[in-house]
Amino acid sequence: MTDLPHSPEQPVVAAKVSRWKMFLASDIFWSYRRSPVTILASIIALILVLMAVFAPLLAPYDPFNPATLNLMDGMTAPNTESYTGKYFAFGSDNQGRDVLSSIMYGSRVSLFVGFAATMFAMVMGVGLGLVAGYFGGLWDAFIMRVADVQLSFPAILIALLIFGVARGVIPANQQEGAAIWVLIFAIGLANWAQFARTVRGATMVERQKDYVAAARILGVNPFLILLRHVLPNVLGPVLVIGTIGLALAIIEEATLSYLGVGVPPTQPSLGTLIRIGQQFLFSGEWWILLFPAITLILLALSVNLLGDWLRDALNPKLR
């Protein structure tokens, strides 16, 4: 073992490849291209999100401006001309509001609450999961038992409970404005345990690895180790539950709004629209319920399918 050259066994070619080319050549993009269901789901999700984000520009009417509403336009069937000669593609509700525009503004609320609640759950769950998994012992026991207790209740019940308590605490004149934030808080708090469990498991695997040992030998602050070493390596599964959790949060928001404890009726979400619609279902005005419901289903389903695909694409065993 003496006469070997000191050169590395293979010269590393410093090829300049653009990030975009790298993405196009990646396994994730490969599995995306080969799954027609995923492509369809992502297109639907993208359309719905764009529609919600640009609702003020795209919507044919402003359903929240009472000045433009005319009660005589109420209950117009889809694709017919109303009393005042307006055209409603998806019909109008009892107050003469365009159902299509309501859906666009409604998805905006639904998506905002869904995103914000999921972010809240994610930050809280990931943080607590990291601490539980890395430090173990009493921290772990305490955090995970709280999570266990919480997981033994239906998430919607917890959200209702939190919502009820908040109602009692917040003064009546501020309730209207605070409602949406309370909703986000309630749904987020109901969903953190999933994140915490997954991250705790992944953290326990990562903390055994030598790169963490190398940082510990140097005396790097444990919280810095968590943040800079462990966190980037446990984010894969978080992304997956985050996506599936987003679909769940949207449905939970819709459920709460349907029950009438969600966002105020002046700012209707998809769930509120469905609640309004079901009052007219048996009197023949089916469109007021059907179109918001289809939108909700499409939204939740496409996000869920994206989450499913992401889980498979990030799992090398299923490739």
Partner 1 sequence: MTEPVLSVKNLIVDFPFHNTNFRAVNDISFDIMPGEVVGVVGESGAGKSMTGSAVIGLIERPGRITSGEILLKGQRIDNLPEADRAKLRGKRIGMVFQDPLTSLNPLYTIGRQLIETIRTHLPLSEEQARQRAIDLLTEAGIPKAADRIDAYPHQFSGGMRQRVVIALAIAAGPELIIADEPTSALDVSVQAQIIKVLKELCSNHGAAVMLITHDMGVIAQTADRMVVMHQGKIVETGTVGDIIRRPREPYTVKLINSIPTIASDRSGAPASAPANDDGAFVQIKGLVRDFELGGGSFTKVFKSKTEIFRAVSDVSFSIQKGKTYGLVGESGSGKSTCAKMIVGLIRPTEGKILVDGHDVWAGGAGERERRKRVQMIFQDPYASLNPRWRVADIIAEPMRTLGIATNKGEVEGRVADLLNKVRLDPSVMRKFPHEFSGGQRQRIAIARALSSQPEFIVCDEPTSALDVSVQAQVLDLMRALQDEFGLTYLLISHNLAVVRQMSSAVGVLHNGVLVESGPTDDIFDNPQADYTRMLLDAVPDISKVA
Please check whether residue 83 is in contact with residue 72, taking contact to mean a CB–CB distance below 8 angstroms: yes
Per CB under 8 A, the segment of 71-79, 213-221, 238-246, 283-291 that binds partner 1 is 213-221
Q: Is residue 47 a contact point for partner 1 (CB under 8 A)?
A: no
Please check whether residue 70 is in contact with residue 97, taking contact to mean a CB–CB distance below 8 angstroms: no
| Residue among 319, 301, 317 nearest 38 (CA) | 301
- Which secondary-structure segment (H or E) carries 281? none
Closer CB to partner 1, 87 or 211, in the complex = 211
Q: Is residue 18 a contact point for partner 1 (CB under 8 A)?
A: no
Q: Is residue 229 a contact point for partner 1 (CB under 8 A)?
A: yes
Q: Which residues of 8-28 are buried (b: 16+ CB within 10 A; e: fewer)?
A: eeeeeeeeeeeeeeeeeeeee
Per DSSP bridges, beta strands 87-88 and 80-81 are antiparallel
Q: Which of 10, 152, 173, 174 binds partner 1 (CB under 8 A)?
A: 10
Total residues in contact with partner 1, by rule CB under 8 A: 27
Please check whether residue 302 is in contact with residue 48, taking contact to mean a CB–CB distance below 8 angstroms: yes
Q: Is residue 232 a contact point for partner 1 (CB under 8 A)?
A: yes
Closer CB to partner 1, 236 or 264, in the complex = 236
Q: Residues 6 or more apart from 276 whose CB is under 8 A from it?
A: 93, 94, 265, 268, 288
- What does the per-residue mask of binding to partner 1 show for 172-211, with x meaning CB under 8 A? -------------------------------------xxx
Per CB under 8 A, the segment of 11-19, 47-55, 128-136, 245-253 that binds partner 1 is 11-19
List interacting residues with partner 1 (CB under 8 A): 1-4, 6-12, 14, 30, 209-211, 213-220, 229, 232-233
